[in-house]
Structure 1
Amino acid sequence: GAKEFVFPRSEKYPVFYHEENSSAIYIGGEAKLYYYDFATYENYTEDFPVKNEGQCMMPGSSDDSKNYLTLVEKYGEGMLVCGTGACAPTCWNLTQRKESTPWDGRGIAPFTPDSNTLVVVDGHDIYSTIKKSQQNGKIPRFRRVRGGGELYTSDTVMQNPQFVKATTLRHEEPHQDKIYYFFREDNPDKSPEAPRNISRVAQLCKEDKGGTSSLSASKWTTFLKASLICVDPVTKGNFNWLQDVFFVPASNWRYSKVYGLFTNTWGSSAVCVYSFEDIDNVFRTSRLKGYNGPNPEIKPGQCVSSGQHTPSETFKIADSHPEVEDRVEPFSPTKSPLFHNKHRYQKIGVHEVSASDGHRYNVLYLATDKGSIHKIVELPDGVQNIMELQVFSKKDPIQSMILDHKRAMLYVGSTDKVVEIPMDMCRVYRNNCESCLLARDPYCGWFNGTCQSVYLNREVRQNLNLDSWRGKCQKADIKEVDDYQNISVVPFSRYYLNCPIESHYATYNWYHNNSLIKTCNTTHPQQDCFHFIQNVSHIHYGHYVCISEEDGFKQALVKERLINRLRFMSQKGHATMTFGSWLQLLLMVVLVELFH
């Protein structure tokens, strides 16, 4: 069910925008904006050439003279498109494919392509970590560049930050609305045993009006930061390198969650889940690190009533002590990672699916550093890795992964293409009842002889809770595929036997003439169970079968009979075999031997 759109040319720094519940995607490239609709196949390209080349402070890169689009977002009634503009950052408003007059995009687009940038468009407000001037030095700031007056963070509150993601959160009272952003920064503790980086969450009040003095008038006055903890309590393994976050909103902001994806120095990954209620509590109730003085009436980080300014006394304390003592721990009751494993994940997405039992299950999509995506489901008895999708055949890095929750689609982008993948890929279970149920895939269930999507049929049988799956399928000890497939193989050649892996919880065994010759370990997700014959000889011919076994259920997935091609040919033409034919056959054997 996957579809792909290949770009007219490879793009070095692509950016992607997809509107929820649509079938189209926008891709920003070098001086071009591509549009593609996966449902109607409509596509077009808009050109955004360099108009007024700027003066690069550090010239020398070929990227300096090009306009790389760095932002494509919904803005008002149309689209906001911004690019580097050859060191002259420029933005355009795009309405029904009509470009507005270009306008100064400094602070919204960088001067040259930069990975450490964050832009949040929230209605008509725009927040950004992009510097407005090339002379601004190397101290990044979090800014409000559009809406309610420009503000930026003090230069001392973050140490070499690497920005990950930001979101806004609506409260019951508008003046309490918050901005939260997640980042890594250098650890002030330089002792050898201390981690080099600390993962953080920062808060700001959306209605912050800046300070009352001339020095603080353009500064955020409600900034506070806290540490995010992701530690396995059993092994004491610390996952301190925040890679990505995914926000799962709720109608009540307190129940909104953030899924944090962390890695450690050994290349393992962990997912820790935090609630915004816990984050809010830490900022509201914790003492400030290093501050022992009395608390002013308006506490640091507290949002004040609309139109009011934070008192200068409060701002001075927060500005010199921006970190709170308490750390944000994962969601109760365990306060530990949801899971951790040996894979190096780079991106995370979370989709909630309503199963046939009426319960809702969270499915995590995790992009690896090898161009694949692991599909992991949260179940009552823990998480289960149900599938690995190799999205790009050349293991191209995944540049972007966007989830469409309403249409249950994944949009995965590389530098060459974007792929639309349905989340309910029930065909992979080969219309086999046991495979369909044992996968414990909340999108799929068994009904009327086929493995079907819950979106098409709510009556399907599933196996998601702790009940036994036995009895939900017709009882059968071993389910055979069709009879053996005859494969003729030349002696002395190489041959691969290939068995598809459908479940990461099954054992896969290859048998040759009823003797076990290979067992596949599926603890590390892999696509297939291979058995390689380096040099085919008479002992290798015969019957091969690959059998998977899980929870007492066995099935034969592949059955092959290897036969000697030379003997097969001689038997086939035995009655009419002439002296010339024998010479040809002898010559073939000699050539094969020489070639080998």
Structure 2
Amino acid sequence: MRALPWLLLAVLCSAQQTPRLKLTLQDIPVLSFENGEKSTVLFYDAGSEQLYVGGRGVLRVLTFKEAEFNQTQVPLQVDEKAEKTCRSKPGAVQAECDNYIQVIQRLNGSSLIACGTNAGSPKCWFLSNTTKLQQDQRGQAVTISGENLAPGSPSQPAAAIAVEGNLYSALSRDKSTIQRSYGPRKLLRTEDKWLTDAEFVSAAWVPEKETNLDEIYFFYNEVNKTAGLDEEPIKARLGRVCKVDEGGKSILVDFWTTFLQARLVCGGPAHPQRFNQLRDAVVLGEGRKGRGMLYGIFASPWGTTAVCAYSMDKVAHAFRTSRLKGYGSGLPAHRPGTCVPYNSPSAPSRAVLAIIKDYPELEAVIYPEGQRPLYVLQTNDTYTRVVADRVWDASNASRTVLYLGTDKGKIHKVLQSRGQTVIIAELSPFRRDAPVSGLALDASTGHLYAATEFEVTRLPLADCGQYRETCWKCVLAKDPYCGWDPDSKKCSAVSQEANDTASFLQSLDPGAEDVCEGAAEQVAQQALKKVSVDPTSYIYLPCPLRSHHAIYTWVKDGTKQYPCAMDGHSCTLRFGENTPMDRGLFKCTATEDGYREEITAYELTLNVACLPRLSLTVATGVLLLAITILLL
């Protein structure tokens, strides 16, 4: 195996790579699909209790109420003619000759559009009143062709976003396209030569202080057809168009006049780029107060994944100032790609449009903050999906929390703030291990929606009850959603609307002071477990890992330290040739950030006669079982 470059080693040293807590979530609403779904597209209306889930021949509308939900199914069946045509094609994948819902977007306050593959002939429906299909005067469902709105196959990567009643679609076909595909504004698309075998990942609307400057970004991978042996076979990119774009007058009449694209790199310019394939991306904006941050998941050829963060202000600066790749002359004062209204006096001239027609790529490369990943996931898992939230902590300071889905159905909750990146917890909400295929976060209701091909669920963002009823356990969680309430003496949710939780105790930054006022001197005394054992038996004493960031020690009679074996769930004291069994009081203690917790304690006595009629093998099994039961 090739050694990791020093860049990655530095990253590994700067962030906790292991989730601090591993939590199996219970009492959460879960919708299961008996046979699995090939595709699970999620859409929610911010502030509502409804989630739309695209499936095979059906749009599911889930209405949540606490830990329960009601389900309404809206059938969207494949056309018989399209299905017959699909099944007659040589080499057709019969499972794809159905209608898989791939696009769900709200166009306005009364209309939602849902588009499906329709056996290779994409088709769209419209919903009103959340669950009712719009109908014409004859009572038939109103439909339109989805040829330019949605992919024809569930395995075909695509992205879509609705902005002010207009649908923008990016389709990965033989001729990849980014289009304004539906709505009142003029329909536009990219020229064929601008994109090369692009596979789209996601899209984002980035509003500006002046609405005429609003931009729509698309994130995708392109095949690097000219790659040499030492070059990346795939390049990640971001493309940008202006919301006000209405096409050209005498050139680029039906095409974007503002489309520009740039290469997106997860790493620095002076080091080999190993994370070249973009898996997912999300922009955490600040409304019209600022452009925010872009977070992306990147994969290496060996399957390892990394998380990179980019300033959208710096991205915008690159689009405003960079030279255009391959264009040798100086750029005009009115730069190609500038957002201006169609009939504005400063609208681009024919000469400017001719430049962007042939040179739509920036020379500048977009690098992440610090020119390195936030961290690299060094486990057997890989990341598949990402969403982000901006959280106000107890001191009314802004924090960023990322939720990252893995290929094993886990979700990592990550604090990214002030130079630190900590995996707060690994959440296990699903009953079956399968890649997380969808994540959606509604900050206004405080919930995260997650899906695999087998299940859909909803999780609370502030799940403070997981951190138990002591100040330091709450504080050590480093969860900005939660703080210790000294009045009620509970770990409670920090208000995201009003600063009425300023008295809550938190310690989110490295090296912060002891906010629990001497809690480091406290220990959680549990009932002492008294165990009498046969000295000829092989026994071990388990100590469950409460935090995977703590340091665990076994101490006998308060003085002698014993080594323990870490097995992922326990720091286990094993007696053997190198650690002979002895009578005494054995305590397992965890220390983290100056806080100390006594996890468990055993008072061991030796008694050969305690199990006179049992064989050694049976006695050992009984003892191990007894210790395990005592521990629980």
Structure-2-length-normalised TM-score = 0.79
- Structure-to-structure mapping, 1:570-581, within 5 angstroms: none
2:365 alignment partner, SS class:
coil
Tell me if the contact between 2:532 and 2:607 (Cα under 8 Å) persists in the aligned partners. yes
- Asked whether 1:130 is paired with 2:171, we answer yes
- Asked whether 1:368 is paired with 2:406, we answer yes
Which of 432, 451, 463 is matched with 2:491 structurally? 451
Tell me if the contact between 1:345 and 1:368 (Cα under 8 Å) persists in the aligned partners. yes
Residues 303 and 406 (structure 1), Cα distance of their counterparts in 2 relative to 1, 3 Å cut: closer
Tell me if the contact between 2:400 and 2:416 (Cα under 8 Å) persists in the aligned partners. yes
Residues 497 and 592 (structure 1), Cα distance of their counterparts in 2 relative to 1, 3 Å cut: closer
Alpha-carbon shift at residue 116 of structure 1 (Å)? 0.9
Tell me if the contact between 2:181 and 2:187 (Cα under 8 Å) persists in the aligned partners. yes
Match of 2:205 in 1: 168
- Asked whether 1:4 is paired with 2:29, we answer yes
Mapped partners of 1:557, 1:312: distance in 2 = 74
Report the AA paired with residue 190 of structure 1. Answer: A
Q: RCO higher in 1 or 2 (8 Å CA, sep ≥ 6)? A: 2
Mapped partners of 1:241, 1:221: distance in 2 = 28
CA deviations on 1:167-199 (whole Å, 9 max, x unpaired) are 223345544332221212123552322222222
Tell me if the contact between 2:122 and 2:146 (Cα under 8 Å) persists in the aligned partners. yes
- Asked whether 1:91 is paired with 2:91, we answer no
Match of 1:421 in 2: 459
Match of 1:516 in 2: 562
Residues 533 and 43 (structure 1), Cα distance of their counterparts in 2 relative to 1, 3 Å cut: farther
Alpha-carbon shift at residue 351 of structure 1 (Å)? 1.4
Structure 2: stretches of 5+ with no match in the other structure: 1-25, 135-140, 623-632
Alpha-carbon shift at residue 341 of structure 1 (Å)? 4.4
1:227 alignment partner, SS class:
strand
Mapped partners of 2:56, 2:582: distance in 1 = 55
Which of 238, 241, 263 is matched with 1:204 structurally? 241
- Asked whether 1:501 is paired with 2:543, we answer no
CA deviations on 1:191-232 (whole Å, 9 max, x unpaired) are 32222222212122223233445x843222322111223325
CA deviations on 1:318-348 (whole Å, 9 max, x unpaired) are 22222121222334xx454444442532222
Which shows bigger deviation, 452-461 or 92-101?
A: 452-461
Match of 1:575 in 2: none
Mapped partners of 1:117, 1:562: distance in 2 = 63
Report the AA paired with residue 53 of structure 1. Answer: K
Mapped partners of 1:488, 1:156: distance in 2 = 79
Mapped partners of 2:76, 2:611: distance in 1 = 65
Tell me if the contact between 2:611 and 2:619 (Cα under 8 Å) persists in the aligned partners. no
1:53 alignment partner, SS class:
helix
Mapped partners of 2:616, 2:597: distance in 1 = 43
Which of 470, 481, 490 is matched with 2:514 structurally? 470
2:342 alignment partner, SS class:
coil
Match of 1:38 in 2: 64
Mapped partners of 1:217, 1:546: distance in 2 = 73
Report the AA paired with residue 63 of structure 1. Answer: A
Match of 2:626 in 1: none
Mapped partners of 1:469, 1:487: distance in 2 = 39
Q: Over aligned residues, Cα RMSD in angstroms?
A: 3.7
Tell me if the contact between 1:267 and 1:342 (Cα under 8 Å) persists in the aligned partners. no
Which of 426, 449, 466 is matched with 1:388 structurally? 426
Structure 1: stretches of 5+ with no match in the other structure: 132-136, 571-581
Report the AA paired with residue 29 of structure 2. Answer: E
Structure-1-length-normalised TM-score = 0.83
Alpha-carbon shift at residue 106 of structure 1 (Å)? 1.9
Tell me if the contact between 2:105 and 2:161 (Cα under 8 Å) persists in the aligned partners. no
- Asked whether 1:66 is paired with 2:66, we answer no
- Asked whether 1:547 is paired with 2:589, we answer yes
Tell me if the contact between 1:53 and 1:85 (Cα under 8 Å) persists in the aligned partners. no
CA deviations on 1:395-442 (whole Å, 9 max, x unpaired) are 321111111112222111112222222122222322232222223222
CA deviations on 1:23-56 (whole Å, 9 max, x unpaired) are 3322121112222223163222222222333123
Match of 1:226 in 2: 262
Mapped partners of 1:252, 1:103: distance in 2 = 34
Tell me if the contact between 1:445 and 1:451 (Cα under 8 Å) persists in the aligned partners. yes
Residues 556 and 589 (structure 1), Cα distance of their counterparts in 2 relative to 1, 3 Å cut: closer
1:549 alignment partner, SS class:
strand
CA deviations on 1:79-132 (whole Å, 9 max, x unpaired) are 22221222332221122322231332222232221341111122321111237x
Which of 33, 43, 51 is matched with 2:79 structurally? 51
Mapped partners of 2:432, 2:539: distance in 1 = 24
- Asked whether 1:28 is paired with 2:64, we answer no
Alpha-carbon shift at residue 357 of structure 1 (Å)? 1.6
Match of 1:577 in 2: none
Report the AA paired with residue 199 of structure 1. Answer: A
Which shows bigger deviation, 485-494 or 550-559?
A: 485-494
Mapped partners of 1:446, 1:461: distance in 2 = 5
CA deviations on 1:58-84 (whole Å, 9 max, x unpaired) are 552122432222222223213222212
- Asked whether 1:150 is paired with 2:187, we answer yes
Report the AA paired with residue 285 of structure 2. Answer: P
Alpha-carbon shift at residue 507 of structure 1 (Å)? 1.0
Match of 2:13 in 1: none
- Asked whether 1:411 is paired with 2:449, we answer yes
Alpha-carbon shift at residue 295 of structure 1 (Å)? 3.5
Residues 285 and 3 (structure 1), Cα distance of their counterparts in 2 relative to 1, 3 Å cut: same
Tell me if the contact between 2:413 and 2:425 (Cα under 8 Å) persists in the aligned partners. yes
Report the AA paired with residue 69 of structure 1. Answer: I
1:41 alignment partner, SS class:
strand
Match of 1:578 in 2: none
Residues 7 and 565 (structure 1), Cα distance of their counterparts in 2 relative to 1, 3 Å cut: farther
Which shows bigger deviation, 243-252 or 302-311?
A: 302-311
2:475 alignment partner, SS class:
helix
Residues 500 and 155 (structure 1), Cα distance of their counterparts in 2 relative to 1, 3 Å cut: same
Match of 1:574 in 2: none
2:351 alignment partner, SS class:
helix
Mapped partners of 2:101, 2:122: distance in 1 = 10
Which shows bigger deviation, 245-254 or 148-157?
A: 245-254
- Asked whether 1:140 is paired with 2:182, we answer no
Tell me if the contact between 1:270 and 1:339 (Cα under 8 Å) persists in the aligned partners. yes
Mapped partners of 1:305, 1:26: distance in 2 = 35
Match of 2:480 in 1: 442
Which of 281, 289, 313 is matched with 1:277 structurally? 313
Identity, in percent, stands at 27
Which of 425, 433, 439 is matched with 2:471 structurally? 433
Tell me if the contact between 1:5 and 1:419 (Cα under 8 Å) persists in the aligned partners. yes
2:474 alignment partner, SS class:
helix
Mapped partners of 2:617, 2:174: distance in 1 = 71
Alpha-carbon shift at residue 304 of structure 1 (Å)? 4.0
